[in-house]
Structures are given as structure tokens and as C-alpha cells.
């Protein structure tokens, strides 16, 4: 069989929970990808500059980081976890509905901050629970989980594309020439669609763009509504609604029940890191007293793994947010509608990469796939820098970057959790670092594009890719040192406290008694 019967049995036992987490990540992807193609329309709607609108990214990613860091406090019991997931999914739909009403950049930033908090809670709880349930088999299910992020992120630009208007003239007299050209291009296109409107106002295209892009957000709000409904169904099944009997099983009990189907390898004597009390939120992990006495490499694995994700998720956030802006600016100067397809290409590649990574994770070690992915990112970005005026390769390169980046996060999660024997706090730490990467890099690159031009988009991405590869090599080295230290500690513990001999079986006792009697008889 392509997949072992044991894994299929494990999935069937946790089917509804797993499918619910996957649908929540589809909602996550839907809300993380729409800012890229609509950023210029939102810039027009709020009357802000590109530098100011990047703070909307920052507010979303900052609260996503806060939600990721604190989301673990909800996952101790099934009731609190599912309640948090239900409210988070519902908040995402509400935010989609009110975005068209935010005509001020501050209001838009607040709305995006609220959605970011909800996304962070979804991110942490879903990742932690899948890792807790599937443990050494979690790589496959994490790839599927993050496939649904890509699927949602692919749908989002496709919905927004028919309603995108492009650049609008700014009230500032120092408006740059590229913005004027792009607005003029849009005006020419709009004149064929609505000449009567253009006769009434020289900026009627702007009004039309505002009205039309609102429909995209309202459509996304509607198609996201089945997700909180799916969580509600799961809560009904677990009898946690007010009209159900008061029975709230602990989620950890379900996890322990599911883990009974694991192979003996997953029940081996825990490593040194087994002293750390399970998964939780970031703050409880940092304040755990059992961290004392662990080798420095234990902390190095967390930090280096997190830094790799800080760089790679930063590249993903930068591409999702600014590849459209880069494409419509000089030297590319693509048409607005053509450039909008770049976001679709990027997220389609991310989705396809995560789908392909599901069987690959079953056949190959995560560390080998990580090396290939990061090497592919560096080579692709180098070619994009060399062929920076080639419009065709911009689409090809964007697809390749999305393909190689697609599985880095779930692979890194599976790799570090496997090193730490699924007993540490790797998941909340890695999720937090990933959120920091998306938050900081989008603001940094957005500011550089505003001051130094659009080419800084590729230069920053290349620098981040190289740093990520160097940090991955350092993580591999740290893993080998940690493995030697923990192996030595285990051997020393075995010498100091040798295991007690197992009691003899009845058959063995009878045999030994016969041998003793035979040896005690005098020989004639």
C-alpha cells in the first residue's frame, strides 16, 4: 500500500478533528493572501501611501505573532480549544465583511490586527494538536494541513482578481511617474467599460474600483462561513453546546487514545527533553523549571529552527505581499490585470508543492527535503536577479519560489519535533518565529521599495534565502552534537542504574529447577 494501514487507522480514529483543523487552515490561507493583490486598491480606499499601507501588514502579523504565542493556553482541554477555534473562524468572516467600510488606514490596521490574532490562535492550536496526535507520523498530516493554507491562499486572489482596479492618483503633488502611468492605463481600460461614468468625474475609475473591490471581500466572508459551522458541528459531537449533556472530554485523553496505534518505536524511553512538560503556549514553555540542566544544544535547536523559519516565512510573506507591486513597477511595468495573476501563480505553486510533499514526506527524511528546498529557493532568486527584465521568467520564478518554500514550515516542524522526541516546546517556538519573520520582513521590504525602488524586493529575498540555508546547516550540526550528548547521558544512566533482571517465566523456572536437581545428583 502507498500508506501503511497503521496510519490509515490513526487517521480514521481522529478523522473529524483532523478535517476540522484542515478546514480552519483553509480559512487561514484565505485571509493571509488577499492583501497582496488588493493592496493598491486598499491604498486608494484609505488614501494612504505604500509605506503607510505596509503597517497594515505589520499590524496583522504582529497580532498573528501574539495569537501564536498565547494560543497554546487554549489547547489543554477540548472545550477551550474548540471554542477558541470557533470564535477565531467567525472573527475572520466578520473582518472580511467590514474591510470595505474602513476608509482610514488606522481602522483598516485595527481590523487586520483582530483577524491576525484569530489566525495566530488557529495556527498554534491546529499545529500542536496534529503533532500531539500523530507524533512520528505527523509530517504527512502537517503537509496536508499546510496544503489547505495554500488552497485558501489560491482561492483568495482568484476571487479578488475580477474586482481589482489598480493604481489611483494620490492627493500628494509628488506622486511618482509610475503611479501616474498605471492610473492612466487603468483609466483607458475603464473608458471602454464605462464611458458615461468617466464623463461625470475625472476620477470615476477610482470610485468604481472602491465599489467593485468591496464585493471581493463580501464574497470571501460568505465562503468562509462554513468553517466556523464545521467547528460548531464538532462541538455538538463532543456534547459541549449548552443544550447538550455536560460532558467535556479532555483533548489530551483523545490524543493518548489515538497514540495507542503507534509502533513500539514511538514508546521508547524518552530523551533528555522528555522532562519538559509537553506542548503549551510560548510563555509557559519559557518559564518551565524542567528546562534547567538541559544541554545548550537543546535551546540551540529551538532557536536555529525558529530563525530558519523567520527567514523563509519572511520570503513567503514578502512575495505574497509585494510581487504584485514589483510587477507593476519599473522595470517590469506589467499590466495591472496581468500582474494580479502573479499572486495566483505563487499560491497555486505553494498549494501544489504541499500536495506533492505529502507522499515525499512519507518516503524521505525531512532534513533532506529541507536542504533541497532552500537550495532551490536560492537558485531561483539568483536567476530572478539575473533575468530581472524578463516578464516570462518572473512568472516561472514566482512559481518556483512558491514551490520550494511551500513545505519548509511543516518539514521544519516535523524535523525539530522529531529531534526533541515530541516532548518539548518546539511547535509554539517555531510558530512564533515564523510570525515574526512575516511581520518584520514585510515592513522592512515595503519601506525599502518606497525609498530604494522595487528591485530591493529581489535583493532582500535573496539575502534572506542565503541566511536561511546557512542557519539550516548550523541546525544540522547542532542536531548531531545534541544527539551525541543525549546518547552519552543515556549510556551513563544505564551504567549507574542498570535495569533490574526480568522475572523468569514459569516455563523457564521449571527448566532451571530441573537443571539444578540434575547437577546436584551424585554421579555413579
Q: What CATH code is carried by the domain that includes residue 193?
A: 1.20.1250.20
User: What is the distance between the alpha carbons of residues 470 and 350, in angstroms, rounded to a whole number?
Assistant: 23
Instruction: Give 208's pLDDT tier (boundaries 50, 70, 90).
Output: very low
pLDDT of residue 462: 94
Q: Is residue 93 part of a domain?
A: yes
Using a 10 angstrom Cβ sphere, with 0-12 exposed, 13-18 middle and 19 or more buried, the burial of residue 325 is buried
Q: Is residue 436 part of a domain?
A: yes
User: What is the distance between the alpha carbons of residues 502 and 331, in angstroms, rounded to a whole number?
Assistant: 76
> H or E stretch including 323?
helix 296-328
Average pLDDT over residues 108-128: 87
User: What is the distance between the alpha carbons of residues 314 and 126, in angstroms, rounded to a whole number?
Assistant: 21
Place of cell 482541554: 77
Average pLDDT over residues 404-422: 85
In this predicted structure, the answer to whether residue 280 has a pLDDT above a threshold of 60 is no
In this predicted structure, the answer to whether residue 100 has a pLDDT above a threshold of 60 is yes
In this predicted structure, the answer to whether residue 225 has a pLDDT above a threshold of 80 is yes
Instruction: Give 78's pLDDT tier (boundaries 50, 70, 90).
Output: low
Average pLDDT over residues 184-194: 37
Instruction: Give 130's pLDDT tier (boundaries 50, 70, 90).
Output: confident
Range of the domain at 146: 10-256+272-490
User: What is the distance between the alpha carbons of residues 181 and 213, in angstroms, rounded to a whole number?
Assistant: 21
Using alpha carbons, select from 420, 291, 443, 419 the residue that is nearest to residue 367: 419
Average pLDDT over residues 480-487: 84
Q: Report the number of secondary-structure helices (H) and strands (E) in the chain.
A: 21, 0
**Lowest-pLDDT choice from 61-75, 328-342, 374-388, 495-509:** 495-509
Instruction: Give 77's pLDDT tier (boundaries 50, 70, 90).
Output: low
User: What is the distance between the alpha carbons of residues 126 and 25, in angstroms, rounded to a whole number?
Assistant: 8
Which of 22-31, 88-97, 274-283 has the highest average model confidence (pLDDT)? 88-97
Q: Is residue 237 part of a domain?
A: yes
Q: Is residue 464 part of a domain?
A: yes
In this predicted structure, the answer to whether residue 404 has a pLDDT above a threshold of 70 is yes
Q: Is residue 130 part of a domain?
A: yes
**Lowest-pLDDT choice from 29-43, 77-91, 173-187:** 173-187
Using alpha carbons, select from 251, 249, 163 the residue that is nearest to residue 209: 163
Instruction: Give 277's pLDDT tier (boundaries 50, 70, 90).
Output: very low
pLDDT of residue 399: 94
Q: Is residue 157 part of a domain?
A: yes
pLDDT of residue 90: 93
Domains identified in the chain, total number: 1
pLDDT tens profile 430-475: 878 887 888 788 888 888 887 888 888 899 999 999 999 999 999 9
In this predicted structure, the answer to whether residue 105 has a pLDDT above a threshold of 70 is yes
User: What is the distance between the alpha carbons of residues 25 and 29, in angstroms, rounded to a whole number?
Assistant: 6
Q: 267 or 40: whose pLDDT is higher?
A: 40
User: What is the distance between the alpha carbons of residues 417 and 2, in angstroms, rounded to a whole number?
Assistant: 24
User: What is the distance between the alpha carbons of residues 97 and 119, in angstroms, rounded to a whole number?
Assistant: 16
Q: Is residue 434 part of a domain?
A: yes
Q: 389 or 130: whose pLDDT is higher?
A: 389
**Lowest-pLDDT choice from 51-65, 186-200, 342-356, 406-420:** 186-200
pLDDT of residue 338: 83
DSSP string, 377-446: HHHHHHHHHHTTT-HHHHHHHHHHHHHHHTTHHHHHHHHHHHHTTT-SSHHHHHHHHHHHHHHHHHHHHH
pLDDT of residue 72: 66
Place of cell 491604498: 43
In this predicted structure, the answer to whether residue 156 has a pLDDT above a threshold of 60 is yes
Average pLDDT over residues 512-523: 53
Q: Is residue 5 part of a domain?
A: no
pLDDT of residue 84: 86
pLDDT of residue 484: 86
User: What is the distance between the alpha carbons of residues 399 and 155, in angstroms, rounded to a whole number?
Assistant: 16
The share of the chain scoring above pLDDT 90, in percent, equals 18
pLDDT of residue 395: 93
| 355: its cell numbers | 500536495
The share of the chain scoring above pLDDT 70, in percent, equals 71
Q: 367 or 262: whose pLDDT is higher?
A: 367
Average pLDDT over residues 41-56: 82
Instruction: Give 279's pLDDT tier (boundaries 50, 70, 90).
Output: very low
Amino acid at each position: 500500500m502507498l500508506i501503511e494501514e497503521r496510519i490509515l487507522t490513526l487517521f480514521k480514529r481522529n478523522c473529524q478533528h483532523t478535517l476540522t483543523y484542515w478546514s480552519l487552515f483553509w480559512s487561514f490561507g484565505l485571509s493571509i493572501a488577499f492583501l497582496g493583490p488588493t493592496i493598491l486598491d486598499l491604498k486608494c480606499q484609505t488614501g494612504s501611501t505604500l509605506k503607510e499601507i505596509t503597517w497594515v501588514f505589520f499590524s496583522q502579523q504582529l497580532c498573528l505573532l501574539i495569537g501564536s504565542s498565547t494560543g497554546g493556553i487554549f489547547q489543554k482541554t477540548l472545550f477551550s480549544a474548540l471554542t477558541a477555534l470557533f470564535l477565531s473562524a467567525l472573527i475572520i468572516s466578520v473582518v472580511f465583511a467590514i474591510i470595505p467600510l474602513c476608509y482610514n488606514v488606522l481602522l483598516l490596521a485595527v481590523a487586520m490586527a483582530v483577524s491576525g490574532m484569530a489566525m495566530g490562535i488557529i495556527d498554534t492550536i491546529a499545529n500542536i494538536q496534529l503533532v500531539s496526535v500523530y507524533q512520528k507520523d505527523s509530517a504527512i498530516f502537517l503537509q496536508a494541513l499546510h496544503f489547505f493554507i495554500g488552497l485558501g491562499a489560491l482561492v483568495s486572489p482568484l476571487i479578488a482578481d475580477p474586482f481589482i482596479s489598480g493604481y489611483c492618483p494620490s492627493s500628494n503633488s509628488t506622486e511618482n511617474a509610475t503611479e501616474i502611468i498605471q492610473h492612466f492605463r487603468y483609466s483607458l481600460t475603464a473608458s471602454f467599460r464605462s464611458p458615461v461614468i468617466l464623463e461625470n468625474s475625472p476620477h470615476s475609475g477610482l470610485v468604481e474600483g472602491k465599489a467593485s473591490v468591496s464585493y471581493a471581500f463580501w464574497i470571501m466572508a460568505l465562503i468562509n462561513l462554513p468553517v466556523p459551522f464545521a467547528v460548531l458541528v464538532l462541538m455538538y459531537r463532543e456534547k459541549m453546546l449548552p443544550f447538550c449533556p455536560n460532558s467535556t472530554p479532555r483533548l489530551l485523553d483523545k490524543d493518548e487514545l489515538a497514540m495507542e496505534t503507534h509502533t513500539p518505536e514511538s514508546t521508547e524511553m524518552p530523551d533528555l527533553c522528555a522532562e519538559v512538560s509537553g506542548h503549551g503556549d510560548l510563555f509557559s514553555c519559557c518559564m518551565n523549571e524542567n528546562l534547567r540542566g538541559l544541554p545548550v544544544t537543546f535551546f540551540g535547536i529551538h532557536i536555529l529552527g525558529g530563525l530558519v523559519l523567520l527567514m523563509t516565512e519572511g520570503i513567503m510573506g514578502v512575495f505574497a505581499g509585494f510581487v504584485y507591486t514589483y510587477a507593476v513597477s519599473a522595470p517590469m511595468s506589467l499590466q495591472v490585470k496581468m500582474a494580479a495573476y502573479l499572486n495566483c501563480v505563487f499560491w497555486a505553486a505553494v498549494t501544489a508543492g504541499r500536495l506533492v510533499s505529502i507522499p515525499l514526506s512519507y518516503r524521505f527524511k525531512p532534513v533532506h527535503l529541507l536542504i533541497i528546498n532552500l537550495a532551490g529557493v536560492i537558485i531561483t532568486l539568483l536567476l530572478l536577479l539575473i533575468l530581472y527584465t524578463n516578464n516570462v521568467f518572473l512568472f516561472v520564478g514566482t512559481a518556483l519560489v512558491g514551490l520550494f518554500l511551500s513545505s519548509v514550515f511543516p518539514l521544519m516542524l516535523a524535523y525539530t519535533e522529531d529531534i526533541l522526541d515530541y516532548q518539548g516546546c518546539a511547535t509554539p517556538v517555531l510558530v512564533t518565529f515564523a510570525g515574526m519573520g512575516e511581520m518584520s520582513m514585510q515592513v522592512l521590504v515595503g519601506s525599502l521599495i518606497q525609498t530604494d525602488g522595487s528591485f530591493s524586493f529581489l535583493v532582500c529575498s535573496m539575502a534572506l534565502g542565503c541566511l536561511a540555508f546557512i542557519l539550516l546547516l548550523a541546525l544540522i550540526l547542532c542536531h548531531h552534537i545534541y544527539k551525541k550528548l543525549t546518547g552519552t547521558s543515556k549510556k551513563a544512566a544505564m551504567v549507574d542504574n542498570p535495569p533490574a533482571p526480568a522475572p523468569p517465566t514459569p516455563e523457564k523456572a521449571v527448566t532451571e529447577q530441573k537443571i539444578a536437581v540434575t547437577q546436584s545428583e551424585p554421579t555413579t
